[in-house]
Structure 1
Amino acid sequence: MGKGGSLSEGVMKKIVLSYSYVAIWIFLSFSVIVYNKYILDKKMYNWPFPISLTMIHMSFCATLAILLVRVLRIVEPVSMSRHVYLSSVVPIGALYSLSLWLSNSAYIYLSVSFIQMLKALMPVAVYSIGVLLRKESYKNDTMFNMLSISLGVGVAAYGEARFDAWGVLLQLGAVAFEATRLVMIQILLTSKGISLNPITSLYYVAPCCLVFLSIPWIFVEYPVLRDTSSFHFDFVIFGTNSFCAFALNLAVFLLVGKTSALTMNVAGVVKDWLLIAFSWSVIKDTVTPINLFGYGLAFLGVAYYNHSKLQALKAKEAQKKTAQPDEEEGSLLQDRDDNKRNDQQN
């Protein structure tokens, strides 16, 4: 604090940068979601091939990542054995490909606003899978919080004017696979001391995604594209769409690396409300009062969950600060005892 209680220039700079990272992430995430919806929706660009679109994204991201790591050497590759790659990176790549495939497929059947409401189940899925895999400890109050979020999403689904059971199943599957991927990253990579930034993660994961996606693509979309589509690759549409997807990965790294994962969760709630408003006002999707009431309940549950995580982080940091002086005092006492013993021996 400066004179008169004003914030110092350094603090103000950090605040401005933090809000800038949040704004960039929201803008890019917003853009990728709306752009994918535009390409896949039959009433818009009308190219309903989600596997192909995801493979285009992964090809673009893998090519740029290889260029930055192997050719330009801007980023150093991570030292990783073949065993670690096969046992850790490959499963994560498989989960990521399934998550992207199903989430993009959902845009064909559901409105942007309703998809954002269903995504509110992500904390529920992450916590539940974490408990099942013994990464999280079970707590009654946390589970009650998860049930309140689920109830809110259920009410929103009940009030959805354009409800499609297959689309809901696809989006719920995407949430489940993404939540499993996030937990597996903690278990498989963090436990081995491996840290991947977005460029190195795309360098290792994107080729895996391409291999896994090519299997369903050969049987599901390739025959249709070969026999019925007069598709000509639009470099402007698919190029800018893929670039946005790559930039979003960098924005995630900036936001989490320079602020915290909790900040990203809070920013995600803001982004969801903006997308719901955009979907209703611009795309003209129907948003019912029951939709909003249900998502409002889920929103309160997610907000309480984020608040609880923040309090837990503060308590952990406070515990570290109180433990540090005790450790220093213990070290000083140990040094004093050692010096006494040395004096007696001399």
Structure 2
Amino acid sequence: MIELPTSIDWKLAVPIGVCTALDIMLSNMSLFYITVTFYTIVKSGGNVWNLLFSISLGHQRPSWPLVAVIVLISSGIGLASYGSAHFVLHGFVLVLAASVIGTLRWVLTQSLLQSMEDNYGAPRNKVLAVVYYVSPASALGLLPIALFTEASDYTSSRFLLDLQLLMMSLFFIFISGCLAFVLIFIEISLVKKTSALSLGIAGSFKDVTQVLLAVFIFGDELIAINVFGLVVATCGVLFYTFTHSKQSSDV
């Protein structure tokens, strides 16, 4: 694997890794205080930050259709989740920070991919190279936090003292790691082929699905405004697909 120039490594790869660690930490911490539905509402606003960061770094040209898409999706998901949110200030601050940092992470990833494209001798498989370059900073960013918050529980945990439970835990950790790697690989591939904003828009389908699963699994009730919100969010995604395909055909 060819080494990145030091300037690119410290300006992009390391910040992406740190943003990844902070996104995971803040998102998980917020769920101690807020519901999954409220988490979904705040996270859906990440498309707004995504658009702002993409425009600021020159990845997107500002346009009214893009603004309309973001407003449709964000307001739609908010309406779809209306009535079931329980506001807790510190939980809100945590998930809002995670939303901002998480979207910055993907916009910086797009910048890194473009820098590797322009860099002489860039590796052929750029997606795998991005995972390789940002993983150390991500791991080093999470390790101190994990040790500080949970180290005292490790020595007395039955999952560590019982060999059978330990092996089972390691197996599930390995499977989870493989699934996480595949997910990140696919997400970076999508950013490479389209843009960070496209990834955020596509993720809105996940938010809509999350609300629907809450209905079928946890018995959450949907009122008329919730159904209307789902329709609005879906229309926003379809409108973005239409405008993006039209722009691609005009190029």
TM-score, with length taken from structure 1: 0.56
1:276–1:230 Cα change, 3 Å: same
Q: Aligned match of 1:280 in 195, 208, 215? A: 215
1:171–1:299 Cα change, 3 Å: farther
Residue identity matched to 1:305: Y
In structure 1, the partner of 2:54 is 130
> What is the CA-CA distance between 1:204 and the residue it aligns to?
1.6
2:148 is the alignment partner of 1:236: no
Question: Percent identity at matched positions?
Answer: 25
Q: How many residues align?
A: 237
In structure 2, the partner of 1:222 is 150
Q: Aligned match of 2:129 in 183, 187, 200? A: 200
In structure 1, the partner of 2:181 is 246
Structure 1: distance between partners of 2:191 and 2:70: 24
What SS does the corresponding residue of 1:190 show, helix, strand or coil? helix
What SS does the corresponding residue of 1:286 show, helix, strand or coil? coil
> What is the CA-CA distance between 1:229 and the residue it aligns to?
5.4
In structure 2, the partner of 1:190 is 114
Structure 1, residues 241-263: CA drift from partner, whole Å, max 9, x if none? 22221232344466677x86698
In structure 1, the partner of 2:243 is 308
Residue identity matched to 1:207: P
Residue identity matched to 1:80: L
Alignment check: 8 A CA contact 1:118 1:171 kept: yes
Structure 2: distance between partners of 1:255 and 1:142: 19
Structure 2: distance between partners of 1:132 and 1:281: 40
> What is the CA-CA distance between 1:208 and the residue it aligns to?
0.8
> What is the CA-CA distance between 1:230 and the residue it aligns to?
5.2
Structure 2: distance between partners of 1:287 and 1:168: 23
For 1:257-336, list aligned pairs within 5 A: 268-282=203-217, 284=218, 286-289=220-223, 290-316=225-251
Cα root mean square deviation, aligned = 3.5
> What is the CA-CA distance between 1:312 and the residue it aligns to?
1.2
TM-score, with length taken from structure 2: 0.73
Structure 2: distance between partners of 1:128 and 1:256: 16
1:203–1:83 Cα change, 3 Å: same
Residue identity matched to 1:225: D
Q: Aligned match of 2:105 in 181, 184, 196? A: 181
Q: Which consecutive residues of structure 1, in runs of 5 or more, have no partner in the other structure?
A: 1-76, 317-346
1:206–1:134 Cα change, 3 Å: same
Alignment check: 8 A CA contact 2:80 2:228 kept: yes
Alignment check: 8 A CA contact 1:265 1:306 kept: no
Alignment check: 8 A CA contact 2:26 2:95 kept: yes
**Once structures 1 and 2 are overlaid, which stretch shifts more, 225-234 or 126-135?**
225-234
Residue identity matched to 1:202: V
Residue identity matched to 1:172: L
2:87 is the alignment partner of 1:152: no
Structure 1, residues 123-179: CA drift from partner, whole Å, max 9, x if none? 322111223344433334433443343333443454224554444433332221121
1:293–1:148 Cα change, 3 Å: same
**Once structures 1 and 2 are overlaid, which stretch shifts more, 89-98 or 183-192?**
183-192
Structure 1, residues 173-223: CA drift from partner, whole Å, max 9, x if none? 22211211222223344135256644322222111111122343344x135
Residue identity matched to 1:304: F
